[in-house]
Every structure is written in structure tokens, then in C-alpha cells.
Structure 1
Amino acid sequence: MKKYLLPSIKLTVLLVVLLGGIYPLLLAGIAKLAPGKGDGVTVMHNGKVVGFEQIGQKFTEDKYFWSRPSAVDYNAAGSGGSNKAANNPDYLKVVQERIDTFLVHNPDVKKSEIPAELVTASASGLDPHLSPAAANIQVARVAKARGIATDKLKQLIADNTKAPVWGMFGTPTVNVLKLNVALDELK
């Protein structure tokens, strides 16, 4: 037993130093080279931080583009999905309530036209992006609430649409927070 005790202690100390000290410091150093310097990329409006680029926020007023629903009420400390199957009665009830709410606020839209992402939560519950189609389907509501021409709103969506990485990985996305900040900044 004594034969293995000293090497075990040495290995434990070595791994604590490597994995508990050097490795975290290395990763923190690499993160400082990333956008946001490892603290996340903030979104500013009128000189104030209004959110983080990669964390979804709740928008429910008709004058704003709505985000994707969240199973965790946009709580970044408790990221997660509902974990309910697509045929779970409770889940179907929640989705139907979201559809009904969306249709009340968007009377020009038919149920079959609603993109699924506007009534189903993402796996993290914090998805900050929508497809351009999900943003465009809300244009009539936002235009009416703000008294802005629909063409101007469609151009704003186009200006805030991010292309797939290198033109081929992923799909075009619109960051809802950035879109709504740009909307507030319209004159």
C-alpha cells in the first residue's frame, strides 16, 4: 500500500495544479481574445446595456417583434427546455395557448402560416434568434402599433439578418434584441 500512496498523492497534486489552476487560466486567457472579452457581447441602447447578444429576452408588446418562447422564462441561470414530448397533452396545451395569443395579436395571419419557432421553445429556452420569416410575419402588427410603413420594417429586418457562417453553415437569423433596439432607434 505504501508503494502506491506517494505516487497517488503526487499525481493528485499535479492534476489539481493542472486542471484546477493552469487549465482554467489558459481558457480565461483565450476567452479574453473573443468578442466581449469573455464576458459576453452586450447590446447597448441610449448608452445603457439592455441585454446580451446571445441570450433571448421576452417581448410581449405589440410595438416590438416577439422572441421565441422560453420554457424557463428567459432565465439564463436556469437554461433548459420543457423536456415534454411533442404529443404530451400538457405541451400541446401550452403550444395551443401560444398560437391563440399570437393570432389575437396578429389577426392578419392564418394559423397555418405561423412559423413553429414562434410557438415552441428552444432546447435552451434562451434562443435570441428568429428566422427572417418569423420576423416578417410580425411586420403588420408592429407597423400598426408604431405607425411605420411595412416596407421600412421589412428593410430593417433585412438589415438585421445575419447570413449563414461562410455562406453555407446554418440558416439566416435575426437577433430579436438587436432588431428591437434598431426599431427603437428609428426616427
Structure 2
Amino acid sequence: MLKEIRPAIIILVVLTLITGLAYPLAMTAIAGVIFPKQAEGSLIEKDGKVVGSALIGQEFKSDKYFHGRPSATTAPDPADSTKTVAAPYNAANSGGSNLGPTSKALSDRLKEDVDRLKAENPSQPVPTDLVTTSGSGLDPDISPAAALFQVPRVAKARNMPEDRLRGLVEEKTQSRLAGLLGEPRVNVLALNLALDAAASK
């Protein structure tokens, strides 16, 4: 019986070493050589300090900055571990809210967000991505329309010409991958860093 079991155990150990250790280490090493920035998390630096990642959104509350998509991520409540509290862009708990179209909580939040944005810029329709959360809750990008919608608020808060801000949005707009895949998008962190740089000149 040991003769039949021994080859199975050897194959299990060998395949575990190959697929569970050697292959992941080799892929990590190759990725680090070919795509070093991406392998380290696509980190963005300012003045030698890491300020974020191009892949994970951040919450900007000030009127002086462009805002990203709402995030439905949560974290454990420090006061009661059986509950959760809102923690926007929490990469440790990526996910959507799972609220359906009949949810009163979702309907109330959407109405509140739309009303606030309409008051901010009554002349333009509110872009969908400024009021809807994504499946991951970590989106770092918004549509060019969502960025342009926010121009009047940011221009007023910074006392900058709107045309200059529109130029920044156009400059930071990324096109479709290979001209085919995805949609045009604007990375909110990159845009806000460019905004700070432009405001300091």
C-alpha cells in the first residue's frame, strides 16, 4: 500500500513547490524587472514622499480639489466590533454597498448627492459617476465630464480662471487603451497634484 501512496505524496510535494513557491516567486521577479513601477503599486510621489497610488482613489473633501467617485467601503467600528462604519477607499475591504434599486438608504443617498451637486453647478446635468459607487469602491478615476462639472466650484474656491482648469482636465485626460478599450478617464489624484502645482505658479 505504501508503494501506491508514495508516488502521490511525492507528486503533491513537487507540484506544491513548483506552483505554490517557484512560479509565484519567478513571476514576481519578472514583473519587478519588466514593470518595476506597477509591481510596487503604481505609487505617486510628491517632493520625495509617497502621496498615494494611481490605482486606488482617495477622499478629497475640500472645495479646492476635484472629488472622485463615492466609495462604499467600510471598516470595523472602533466602538463596536459587530458593526461597521464608512471608510472611503479602504483597500483592505474593497467592495460595493450591495444596496439594490429598491433600497431606501441608496435612494436617499443618491437624492442628497444629486441635490448637493445641482446646487454646486445648476447649469449642467450631474454626471452619473459623481453619485454612483463602483463595485470595488476604490476607483481612482472619474470621467472627463465629471471633472469638467467640478471646474466652477474649484475655480471659485481657488480664485483661478475656469479656462485654466479646463485645460488641466484636458491635459490629464487619458484616452482609451490602444484607442479601443475602456473609456476616457481622469485620475483624480494626478489632476489634484497638477492643480496644486499650477496654483503655486
Asked whether the two chains share a fold, i.e. TM above 0.5, the reply is: yes
Aligned residues: 184
Cα distance, 1:161 vs structure 2: 0.4
Q: Do structure 1's residue 41 and structure 2's residue 42 form an aligned pair?
A: yes
For 1:119, the aligned partner's letter is V
Q: Is the 8 A contact 1:109 1:137 kept in 2?
A: no
2:150 alignment partner in structure 1:
138
Cα distance, 1:176 vs structure 2: 0.2
What is the distance in 1 between the residues matched to 2:36 and 2:26?
17
Query: What is the RMSD of the two structures over their aligned residues, measured on CA atoms?
Result: 1.5
Residue in structure 1 matching 2:194, options 175, 182, 185: 182
Cα distance, 1:78 vs structure 2: 0.9
Structure 1 stretch 34-43 or stretch 24-33: which is displaced more?
34-43
Cα distance, 1:103 vs structure 2: 3.4
**Structure 1 alignment gaps of length 5 or more:** none
Matches within 5 A, 1:1-187: 1-32=1-32, 33-36=34-37, 38-72=39-73, 73-104=88-119, 106-109=120-123, 113-186=125-198, 187=201
Secondary structure at the counterpart of residue 179 of structure 1: helix
Q: Which deviations, in whole Å up to 9, do the C-alpha atoms of 1:131-155 show, x marking residues without a partner?
A: 1000000000000000000000000
Give identity over the alignment, percent: 45
TM-score, length of structure 2 as denominator length: 0.86
Cα distance, 1:168 vs structure 2: 1.6
**Structure 2 alignment gaps of length 5 or more:** 74-87
Cα distance, 1:41 vs structure 2: 1.2
Structure 1's 89 and 4: CA in aligned 2 closer, same or farther, altered over 3 A? farther
Secondary structure at the counterpart of residue 52 of structure 2: strand
TM-score, length of structure 1 as denominator length: 0.92
Structure 1's 83 and 30: CA in aligned 2 closer, same or farther, altered over 3 A? farther
Cα distance, 1:20 vs structure 2: 1.7
Q: Which deviations, in whole Å up to 9, do the C-alpha atoms of 1:107-143 show, x marking residues without a partner?
A: 4345xx1111101111100000011000000000000
